[in-house]
Amino acid sequence: METYGKILNIAMPVFLVLVLLEKLYGWAIRKESFKTMDMLSSMSSGFTNIIKDVLGLSVSIITYDYMVKHWAIYKVESTIWVYIIAFVALDFSGYWIHRLSHQINFFWNKHAIHHSSEEFNLACALRQSISSFVNLFTVFLLPAALLGVDSKVIAIVAPLHLFAQFWYHTVYIGKLGFLEKIIVTPSHHRVHHAINPEYLDKNHAQIFIIWDKLFGTFQEELPDIPPVYGITRPVSTWNPIKINFQHLWLLMQDAYHTTSWRDKLRIWFMPTGWRPADVSEKYPVFKIEDPYHFEKYAPKSSLLMQTWIWVQFIFTFALISYFFANLSAIGSPGIFIYGGFVFLIVFSYSELMDRNPYALLYETLKNLAGLFIIYYTGNWFGISTQIPWAVYAISAYFILSTLVTAYFVFYDIRKDLAVAKVTMQKVAH
């Protein structure tokens, strides 16, 4: 946990700089709009994912250690080959997990967040799941377990394998010649993220594209069919926590509403997107039929609001950096309280991004909780020992944040809602 936290404290600023550099390149050189809210939603999703991972909020039905202990038929010597085998085994496992996540209704919920952005950029690579609390797929690491690869090796290689998937989430790198035949490239992954009928559910590989070619899921990017990104049932929110559970909530509603007991049971394991006939007719859900003609989610946001969301994001970034640097000192249960508080911050400011009037309620609850922690403990998880004035700064932020959110809700969001209501009444008459 502590080691992973230290790695993330190095990786987070690097990823942030790379995301911003890509955005600045698109804005300054390609003359493309700077889609702030989409980018901040993606990076905020990254916050929630790394918090979940560091806290270890998931369990495996069959652990890798168990498989090595009981099923290993050979012990690979501790050389460079151990790490190569571990990397290839992780990639093989990743392909099948990824593929099943696209093909089965229940498993799609854990992956939909990654495809939810209607843009394709480095930031969307950070949209990762928090909704998977039980890992059913450790069994796909069986090849490594049979060869006796130590779990510590897997633990070292796994973050490297994950980080190596970051770079190819971009539209600014074209085809890469002979590398297209070996590794996953931006061109391959643009296909994977596209909702064009020609591209749906293709290119599931994570590092080596050979898996798609072996198992029949490869599709080349076609010059006359530009990829259109997102998911066919748009999430229509910037809130990453809501996105993580949207599909699961739909499945639960459908299972409740259908009159067929057979459908109540099989809906979870049917192909992704399948709904019982009686439910889909009575409770229709919007789906993009024409990927070339639909309105992307982009609620109005002033420069002032975008600036404030940046302030919220940077404050959260600082809190997480302190958290990862002091995991052992904070200890348990403090780390879980801290992690939950970060989730509350992200939920609160992303509701403001969505222009939800209830954002003020969430913001007030979050700030009262933060002030209570400071009042009850006389500190902010020990930060005063390192930065004596930090508690006062954090307290001031909680108060300021409530006031600023109140301003946006009462003088911006509710004003627009009132105008829209009057307009609708005029149209009705």
Q: Is residue 282 part of a domain?
A: no
In terms of pLDDT, which residue wins out, 198 or 426? 198
Residues 309 and 177 occupy one common structural domain: no
Q: Which string of b and e fits 109-119 if b means at least 16 CB within 10 Å? A: bbbbbbbbbbb
Structure tokens at 113: 């967040």
Q: How many domains does the chain have?
A: 2
pLDDT at 238 over 80: yes
User: What percent of the chain clears pLDDT 90, i.e. is strictly above it?
Assistant: 88
Last residue in a domain, options 180, 215, 250? 215
Angle (CA) 275 253 132, round 5°: 90
Question: How confident is the model over 232-261, as a mean pLDDT?
Answer: 97
Gap between the Cα atoms of 17 and 20, Å rounded? 5
**What sections of 258-408 are H helices per DSSP?**
261-266, 277-282, 303-325, 327-330, 334-353, 359-377, 390-408
Residue 5: per-residue pLDDT: 84
- pLDDT tens for each residue of 168-191: 999 999 999 999 999 999 999 999
- Decide if 12 contacts 317 (C-beta within 8 A): yes
Q: Is residue 269 part of a domain?
A: no
Nearest to 71 by CA among 137, 136, 141, 134: 141
Which SS3 state, helix, strand or coil, does residue 135 take?
strand
Question: How confident is the model over 26-45, as a mean pLDDT?
Answer: 95
Residue 422: per-residue pLDDT: 62
- pLDDT tens for each residue of 137-156: 899 999 999 999 999 999 99
Structure tokens at 195: 């909702």
pLDDT category at 77 given cuts 50, 70, 90 is: confident
Q: Is residue 28 part of a domain?
A: no
Residues 208 and 345 occupy one common structural domain: no
Nearest to 43 by CA among 230, 238, 233, 327: 238
Q: Is residue 47 part of a domain?
A: no
Which amino acid appears at position 117 of this protein? Answer: S
Residues 209 and 345 occupy one common structural domain: no
pLDDT at 369 over 80: yes
Residue 429: per-residue pLDDT: 56
Residues 309 and 207 occupy one common structural domain: no
Q: Is residue 119 part of a domain?
A: yes
Question: How confident is the model over 66-71, as a mean pLDDT?
Answer: 94
Q: Is residue 322 part of a domain?
A: yes
- pLDDT tens for each residue of 295-336: 999 998 999 999 999 999 999 999 999 999 999 999 999 999
CA distances from 236 to 41, 191, 295 (A): 12, 22, 10
Residues 204 and 66 occupy one common structural domain: yes
Gap between the Cα atoms of 392 and 380, Å rounded? 10
Question: How confident is the model over 262-272, as a mean pLDDT?
Answer: 97
pLDDT at 417 over 80: no
Residue 136: per-residue pLDDT: 81
Q: Is residue 222 part of a domain?
A: no
Residue 110: per-residue pLDDT: 94
Question: How confident is the model over 231-251, as a mean pLDDT?
Answer: 97
> Is residue 276 exposed (0-12), middle (13-18) or buried (19+ Cβ within 10 Å)?
buried
In terms of pLDDT, which residue wins out, 214 or 79? 214
Q: What's the pTM?
A: 0.93
- For every residue of 212-272, DSSP letters joined together read HHHHT---PPPTTS---BS-SS----S-HHHHHHHHHHHHHHHHHH-S-HHHHHHGGGSBT
pLDDT category at 4 given cuts 50, 70, 90 is: confident
In terms of pLDDT, which residue wins out, 403 or 60? 403
286: left (phi over 0), alpha (psi -120 to 50) or beta: beta
Last residue in a domain, options 168, 192, 215? 215
Gap between the Cα atoms of 234 and 168, Å rounded? 23
Q: Give strand ranges (E) for 16-174.
A: 59-60, 134-135
pLDDT at 379 over 70: yes
How crowded is the C-beta side of 215, counted as CA atoms within 13 Å?
A: 15
> Is residue 159 exposed (0-12), middle (13-18) or buried (19+ Cβ within 10 Å)?
middle
Residues 203 and 100 occupy one common structural domain: yes
Last residue in a domain, options 155, 188, 215? 215
- Decide if 185 contacts 69 (C-beta within 8 A): no
- Decide if 57 contacts 131 (C-beta within 8 A): no
Per the omega criterion (within 30 degrees of 0), is the bond before 234 cis? no
| Structural domain span for residue 372 | 303-428
Residues 68 and 206 occupy one common structural domain: yes
Residues 180 and 324 occupy one common structural domain: no
Average pLDDT, the chain: 94
Q: Is residue 319 part of a domain?
A: yes
- pLDDT tens for each residue of 86-102: 999 999 999 999 999 99
Residue 398: per-residue pLDDT: 98
pLDDT category at 421 given cuts 50, 70, 90 is: low
Residue 423: per-residue pLDDT: 64
The residues facing 271 across adjacent strands are 104
Structure tokens at 74: 């050979």
Residue 65: per-residue pLDDT: 93
Range in 32-41, 101-110, 180-189, 408-417 with the lowest mean pLDDT: 408-417
Nearest to 138 by CA among 156, 151, 147, 128: 151
